[in-house]
Amino acid sequence: MLGKIFVGAVGAVISLGLAAPAGASPVPQPQAVPDFLAAARAAGITGTDPAMLEDGYQVCRRLWVRQMPGTQIAAGLVQDHPQLTTDQAAQFVLAAYHDLCPVPGGAYDYWAYSTG
């Protein structure tokens, strides 16, 4: 029962955190990558910068191209990286959304923002 309450609370945090900010810029800011990595590390997530960035850009693709809910993406991160807690995965999704995803609520331009 406690797990369902916790997952529900995390889902609410992700939903609130994914609200598009007013006046959002379609182009990532110069500090986007350092800010994302700092936010991920502040959540207790460790890993190499390239691997974390790839996972962060994958979050963006899942949000904008596949239109997956943030809670589902966070659950997938926990499944792919069992060392992550549900809260860390939620924070990772929010960090990617706020710092890496170029167009909140809009179309994701894979060619412009692809790392590979």
Full residue range of the structural domain in which residue 46 is found? 34-116
Tell me if 98 is assigned to some domain.
yes
pTM attached to this predicted model: 0.67
Tell me if 26 is assigned to some domain.
no
Tell me if 15 is assigned to some domain.
no
Task: Kindly tell me the burial class for residue 90, based on how many C-beta atoms sit within 10 Å of its own C-beta (0-12, 13-18, 19 or more).
Answer: buried
**How many domains is the chain partitioned into structurally?**
1
Cα 61 vs. chain centroid, distance in angstroms?
Answer: 10
Tell me if 105 is assigned to some domain.
yes
Assigned token pair, 5 = 């309450």
Q: Using one digit for the tens of pLDDT, what is the confidence trace for 55-104?
A: 999 999 999 888 899 999 999 999 999 999 999 999 999 999 999 987 65
Tell me if 21 is assigned to some domain.
no
- Is 102 in a helix, a strand, or coil? coil
